[in-house]
């Protein structure tokens, strides 16, 4: 089966929204490592949808982070603070997945939710606006 670029973009945006919802469930269950992971992946999926739409390739997480900063932050398509948010989520996920004795505070993670939601919405709006 073959998929169009639009199919892939829509699929990844759907994954972003679903993964954000998973983060909410993980937070409610006080699973902070899983929450951080899901928040990172929610933005990852939305950003990867944008890059598919733009025909830009990023094959690794580090590559996507670099492209995010280069193509979105440095071009002022998104605010610097949103670039910092994505970089922070990237670091949190790396730390939570690969370092020992990492601790996250629930209040710290809760504060990320509205910012992540706003960033996902912004990426989706960029995709829509750049279609026209």
Task: In whole angstroms, give the CA distance from residue 106 to residue 31.
Answer: 9
Residues 42-51: what's their mean pLDDT?
A: 98
Mean pLDDT throughout 65-85?
Answer: 96
Q: Looking at the predicted structure, is the pLDDT value of residue 14 above 70?
A: yes
3-state secondary structure of 78: coil
Using pLDDT thresholds of 50, 70 and 90, give the confidence band for residue 132.
low
What's the pLDDT at 59? 86
Distance between CA atoms of 78 and 97, rounded to whole angstroms?
Answer: 27
Angle in degrees, CA 48, 19, 4, rounded to 5: 40
For 5-129, which CATH superfamily applies? Nucleotidyltransferases  domain 2 (1.20.120.330)
CA gap 42, 21 in Å, rounded: 9
The residue among 103, 101, 105, 69 whose CA lies nearest residue 86 is 69
Q: What is the pLDDT of residue 58?
A: 86
CA distance 11 to 13: 6
The confidence score (pLDDT) of residue 1 equals 82
- What is the reported pLDDT for 77? 96
Domain ranges in the chain are 5-129
């Amino acid at each position: 089966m073959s998929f169009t670029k639009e199919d892939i973009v829509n699929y990844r945006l759907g994954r972003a929204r679903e993964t954000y919802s998973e983060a909410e469930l993980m937070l409610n269950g006080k699973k902070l490592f899983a929450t951080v992971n899901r928040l990172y992946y929610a933005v990852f999926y939305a950003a990867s949808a944008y890059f598919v739409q733009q025909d830009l390739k990023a094959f690794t997480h580090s590559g996507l982070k670099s492209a995010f900063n280069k193509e979105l932050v440095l071009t002022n398509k998104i605010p610097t603070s949103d670039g910092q948010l994505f970089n922070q989520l990237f670091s949190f996920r790396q730390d939570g997945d690969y370092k020992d004795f990492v601790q996250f505070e629930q209040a710290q993670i809760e504060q990320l939710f509205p910012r992540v939601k706003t960033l996902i919405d912004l990426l989706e709006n960029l995709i829509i606006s750049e279609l026209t």
